[in-house]
C-alpha cells in the first residue's frame, strides 16, 4: 500500500495537484478495504496513463505526417512547375535552329515517350535536425551517389512520438533507383531514428490525405483532452483523501514494524515483548495495555511483569523542549553511564555563559535574542512543518540561542560593548596607557571617576 501511495503522489506531482494538508472528516474505512480500493485506483490510473500515451503517440505521428504532406507536397509541386516550364521552353524553340543547348533527338524522344522514362522510387519522413548532415552523407556514400536528397526545415520543434520530447527536425525526400538502394536507405533511416511516412505523387490524393489527417488530429486532440480531464478529476479525488490514507498506512506499517521485534513463546500462541522502561513509566504502560485490550475487544488480556536482571540498564535522561538541546550537546561528546551524574544540567548555564564571555556584545546579543524569540513564539506552527537542514537545526536549538543571547547581553554590558563600539554606560575606562607603545599600561591612579574601593586598594598597594 505504501508503494501505491508513492505512485499516487508521483502522479499528482506530475499533474500539478497538491494533496490537502488538512484532512477532512475522518474516514471509517479499514485497512483491508483500503487495500482493495487502492488496488482498483492504481489499476484505473495505470490504464488511463497507458491509453493517454497511445493517444499522445498517435497524435504526434499525425502531426509529423501532416508536416511531411505539406513540405513534400510543396517540393513535388515546385518540381512539376519546373518540368512544365522546361517542356514549354523546349516546344517553343524553333525546329530549324540548332545550338549546343538544344537537346538531342534521343533526349526528346525519352521526354515525349512516358514508357521510356526511368521510374524513381522515393522515401519521405522526418529526421532530427542535428542528424541531418550525417544522415545525408551516409546515404550518399552507401548508394555511391545514386540518390537525390531534398531536405526542408520545420519552423518549430515537434514532439517525437518515440521519446515524447520536443526535437527540431527536417523533412526529407530521398529518390532512389532499385530495391537494393531502397533496402540500404531503410536501414539507415532506422539507425538514425528517422520516422518514415507514406506519400503519393497524385496531387488529388495529397489533398484528400491532408484533409483526412487534419480531421483525425482534431478528433485525437479532443480524445486526449477528455482523458486528461478524467485523469485530473481522479487524481483530485485521490488528493482529497491522500493524507488520511497515508496516515492509516503508516500507522499499520509501524504496528507491523513493532510486531517484528516481538518473539513467540514456547506454545507459539502468544507474543512476548521485553524492553527497558523508567520506573515511573510502569503505571503508564499498564494503563496503555488495558486501554488497548478494551478498544480491541480482546478476549485474552495482556500480562505485564517486571523482570529482575543483572544487565546494566541503558542510560535515560528525562528532558523537555528546553533541556533537550543541551542534552544533545552533551551526548555528542559522550553518554553518561547508568546512575552517573548528568553533565547536561550544568551545561544549561556553563555552555551559554562561556559563549557569552567570547561574544561579549549586548548589541549583537539583542539581535540574537530577537531571532530566538521568533522561533519560540512560532514553535507550534514550525514544529509541524518540514524545515530545511539549517533551519531545522536552528529551530531545535532555539532555547540554547535564547540563553546565549541573555548571557551575551549581560557580559556585553560589563564589557561596555555595543556592536563592537565602546559604550560608556557606567563610566570611562580606568585602563590607560602611559605612552603610545602601551608597554607600561595599567590603572590610572589619579582618575577621579574610580570607585572608592578601587582607590583604597591602590592606596594600600602603594604603601
Q: Which domain holds residue 132?
A: 55-91+120-218
Pair 60, 201 in one domain: yes
Give the separation between CA 93 and CA 183, rounded to whole angstroms.
Answer: 42
Residue-wise pLDDT tens digits, 93-151: 644 455 555 555 445 554 455 554 556 788 888 999 898 899 999 989 998 888 888 88
Q: Which residue has the cell 512516358?
A: 114
Give the separation between CA 243 and CA 248, rounded to whole angstroms.
Answer: 9
Pair 78, 209 in one domain: yes
Give the separation between CA 121 and CA 440, rounded to whole angstroms.
Answer: 106
Q: How many domains does the structure of the chain reveal? A: 2
The residue from 218, 237, 269 where one domain ends is 218
The residue from 162, 193, 218 where one domain ends is 218
Pair 198, 333 in one domain: no
Whether 64 and 166 have beta carbons less than 8 Å apart is answered as no
- Residues of the chain falling short of pLDDT 70: 21-27, 79-119, 426-463
What cell numbers appear for 409 in the block? 547581553
pLDDT for position 438:
55
Residue-wise pLDDT tens digits, 418-454: 888 877 776 666 656 555 555 555 545 455 554 544 4
Task: Determine how β-strand 166-167 pairs with β-strand 271-272.
Answer: unpaired
The residue from 185, 218, 251 where one domain ends is 218
State the CB neighbour count (10 A cutoff) for residue 61.
Answer: 18
**CATH value at residue 70:** 3.30.70.2750
299 domain-assigned = no
pLDDT for position 105:
47
Whether 157 and 168 have beta carbons less than 8 Å apart is answered as yes
Pair 328, 200 in one domain: no
Please enumerate in sequence order all residues whose Cβ is within 8 A of that of 271, keeping only pairs 6 or more positions apart, or say none.
Answer: 259, 262, 263, 264, 265
Provide the β-strand partners of residue 454: none
Pair 191, 62 in one domain: yes
175 domain-assigned = yes
265 domain-assigned = no
46 domain-assigned = no
244 domain-assigned = no
Q: Which residue has the cell 531545535?
A: 396
CA 42 to chain CA centroid, Å, is: 22
Pair 206, 67 in one domain: yes
97 domain-assigned = no
From residue 401, give the alpha-carbon distance in Å to each of 5, 37, 141, 184.
Answer: 40, 49, 75, 75
CA 241 to chain CA centroid, Å, is: 23
178 domain-assigned = yes
Pair 61, 201 in one domain: yes
208 domain-assigned = yes
- DSSP per-residue letters across 92-158: HS-SS---TTSPPHHHHHHHH-GGGSPPPEEEEEEEEGGGHHHHHHHHHHHTTT--EEEEEE-SS-E
Amino acid at each position: 500500500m505504501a508503494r501505491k501511495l508513492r505512485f499516487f503522489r508521483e502522479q499528482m506531482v506530475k499533474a500539478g495537484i497538491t494533496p490537502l494538508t488538512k484532512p477532512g472528516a475522518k474516514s471509517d474505512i479499514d485497512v483491508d478495504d483500503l487495500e482493495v480500493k487502492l488496488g482498483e485506483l492504481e489499476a484505473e490510473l495505470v490504464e488511463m496513463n497507458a491509453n493517454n500515451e497511445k493517444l499522445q503517440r498517435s497524435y504526434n505521428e499525425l502531426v509529423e505526417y501532416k508536416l511531411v504532406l505539406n513540405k513534400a507536397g510543396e517540393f513535388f509541386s515546385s518540381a512539376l512547375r519546373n518540368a512544365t516550364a522546361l517542356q514549354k521552353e523546349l516546344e517553343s524553340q524553333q525546329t530549324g535552329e540548332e545550338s549546343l543547348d538544344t537537346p538531342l533527338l534521343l533526349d526528346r524522344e525519352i521526354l515525349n515517350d512516358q514508357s521510356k522514362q526511368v521510374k524513381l522510387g522515393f522515401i519521405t519522413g522526418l529526421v532530427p535536425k542535428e542528424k541531418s548532415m550525417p544522415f545525408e552523407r551516409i546515404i550518399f556514400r552507401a548508394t555511391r551517389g545514386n540518390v537525390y536528397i531534398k531536405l526542408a526545415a520545420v519552423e518549430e520543434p515537434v514532439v517525437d512520438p518515440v521519446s515524447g520530447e520536443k526535437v527540431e527536425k527536417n523533412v526529407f525526400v530521398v529518390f532512389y533507383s532499385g530495391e537494393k538502394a531502397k533496402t540500404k536507405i531503410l536501414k539507415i533511416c532506422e539507425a538514425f531514428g528517422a520516422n518514415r511516412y507514406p506519400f503519393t505523387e497524385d496531387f488529388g490524393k495529397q489533398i484528400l490525405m491532408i484533409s483526412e489527417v487534419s480531421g483525425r488530429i482534431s478528433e485525437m486532440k479532443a480524445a486526449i483532452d477528455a482523458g486528461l480531464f478524467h485523469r485530473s478529476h481522479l487524481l483530485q479525488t485521490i488528493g482529497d483523501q491522500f493524507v488520511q490514507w497515508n496516515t492509516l498506512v503508516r500507522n499499520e506499517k509501524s504496528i507491523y514494524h513493532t510486531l517484528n521485534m516481538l518473539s513467540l513463546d514456547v506454545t507459539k500462541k502468544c507474543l512476548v515483548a521485553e524492553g527497558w522502561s523508567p520506573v515511573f513509566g510502569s503505571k503508564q504502560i499498564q494503563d496503555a495495555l488495558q486501554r488497548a485490550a478494551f478498544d480491541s475487544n480482546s478476549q485474552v488480556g495482556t500480562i505485564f511483569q517486571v523482570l529482575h536482571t543483572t544487565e546494566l540498564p541503558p542510560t535515560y535522561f528525562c528532558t523537555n523542549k528546553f533541556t533537550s538541546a543541551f542534552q544533545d550537546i552533551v551526548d555528542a561528546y559522550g553518554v553518561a553511564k547508568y546512575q552517573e551524574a548528568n553533565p547536561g544540567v550544568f551545561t544549561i548555564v556553563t555552555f551559554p555563559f562561556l559563549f557569552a564571555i567570547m561574544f561579549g556584545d549586548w548589541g549583537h546579543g539583542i539581535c540574537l535574542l530577537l531571532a530566538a524569540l521568533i522561533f519560540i513564539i512560532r514553535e507550534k506552527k514550525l514544529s509541524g512543518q518540514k524545515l530545511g537542514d539549517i533551519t531545522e537545526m536552528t529551530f531545535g536549538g532555539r532555547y540554547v540561542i535564547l540563553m546565549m543571547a541573555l548571557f551575551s547581553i549581560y557580559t556585553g554590558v560589563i564589557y561596555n560593548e555595543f556592536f563592537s563600539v565602546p559604550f560608556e554606560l557606567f563610566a570611562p575606562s580606568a585602563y590607560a596607557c602611559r605612552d603610545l607603545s602601551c608597554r607600561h599600561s595599567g590603572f590610572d591612579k589619579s582618575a577621579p571617576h574610580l570607585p572608592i574601593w578601587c582607590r583604597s586598594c591602590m592606596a594600600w598597594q602603594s604603601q
